Amino acid sequence: MKSAATSLLGDSLGESQGEIVILGAGAIGQLIFHQLSAHDLMPVLMAREGLAASQSLTFTDLNGVTIEREAHLIDSSALNACKLLIVCVKAYQVEDALQPCLDNLNPHAHILLLHNGLGPHQQLADKLNGRGLSLGTTSQGALRLAKWQIRQTGAGLTQLGHAQGPALPAATRQALLRAIANSQWCEPILPMLWQKLAINIAINPLTAINDCHNGDLADEHYRSSILRLIDEVVTVASAEQIPLDKTELIERVYQVIALTASNYSSMHQDIHHGRQTEIEAITGYLLRRAESHGIATPENLAIYQQLKAVERQAVKR
């Protein structure tokens, strides 16, 4: 008899574990692993260490219920059975993490990138050898309590959509949307990713530079800077044929500031822990697109330079 996962994913996908591979076992990678496992989709994990083994993972959901699951860890030699590779590493790690996989990856596998910011999809565009690519963004919150232990901290929206090449089969799409709570398929996906980019541009660097919670940005002191940052995003997006409504975007940014008031942004956390930030895929991406259109973005440039200085200090520590 075929498993639930097989029937959800479509008959051509076979029956074995390993058809869905999650590349990156950070907080979001582990969260997606638990969500897909709970829906019998039998994902396996590919961690940076590249070790092939079995590992016990602990997950606490939003209701405080804790569950343990056994995860099968694979290395890149086991990618031949893969039909869907979900890439959950940081934007600046995508190219390096994917490169060694592409030789062994099933030629019909579909790749889904799930990270903050934009840019890696352009670097990968010519390297996929006809494979399909989807992109996504998630505002789900997950906290890593130990290497293999996470707690879900927020039930934010996840948006996924097609980017290039063959589309993800409809049954696979539906299976993903069922498994990932509060998720939606968006066509086209780029405007959604630009909206998320705008939110990250307005919030993340300011919180990291000023060492503050997201909620502190509601202070009038930051308003003129936030408005200028968003204004520049809207201008560049428009040159990219992505129409963004400035008033709605400002409202959305302040909503996110209020909803996540007591959180530290991911960029603040990266600086705090002395890690490289995602600035190149956030403000850096905007600056590169602006430059290609000959558009000046002085506020974003100033914030980018300040953040880079803070990052240099933090990574050195």
- 76 or 260, CB closer to ligand KPL? 260
- From 206, 256, 271, 303, residue interacting with ligand KPL (rule: CB under 6 A): 256
Query: Which backbone phi and psi does 153 adopt, to 5 degrees?
Result: -115, -10
- 76 or 200, CB closer to ligand KPL? 200
For residues 80 and 56, the answer to whether their CB atoms sit within 8 Å is no
How far, in Å, CA of 83 to CA of 196, rounded?
28
- 158 or 214, CB closer to ligand KPL? 214
How far, in Å, CA of 210 to CA of 89, rounded?
26
283 forms part of the interface with ligand KPL (CB under 6 A)? no
Query: How far apart are CB 311 and ligand KPL at their closest, in Å?
Result: 15
Q: What is the residue type of 13? A: L
What end-to-end distance do the CA atoms of the chain give, in Å? 56
Annotated catalytic residue 196: yes
Site for ligand KPL in 186-225 (CB under 6 A): 199-200, 203-204, 214
Size of the site for ligand KPL (CB under 6 A): 12
- 106 or 139, CB closer to ligand KPL? 139
Residue 12: closest CA among 131, 129, 171, 177: 171
Active-site position among 90, 127, 196, 308? 196
265 forms part of the interface with ligand KPL (CB under 6 A)? yes
116 forms part of the interface with ligand KPL (CB under 6 A)? yes
Query: How far apart are CB 191 and ligand KPL at their closest, in Å?
Result: 17
279 forms part of the interface with ligand KPL (CB under 6 A)? no
What one-character-per-residue DSSP string does 98-160 give?
HHHHHTTS-TT-EEEEE-SSS-HHHHHTTTSTT--EEEEEEEEEEEEEETTEEEEEEEEEEEE
- 232 or 270, CB closer to ligand KPL? 270
Q: Which residues bind ligand KPL (CB under 6 A)?
A: 116, 139, 199-200, 203-204, 214, 256, 260, 263, 265-266
Report the catalytic residues.
196
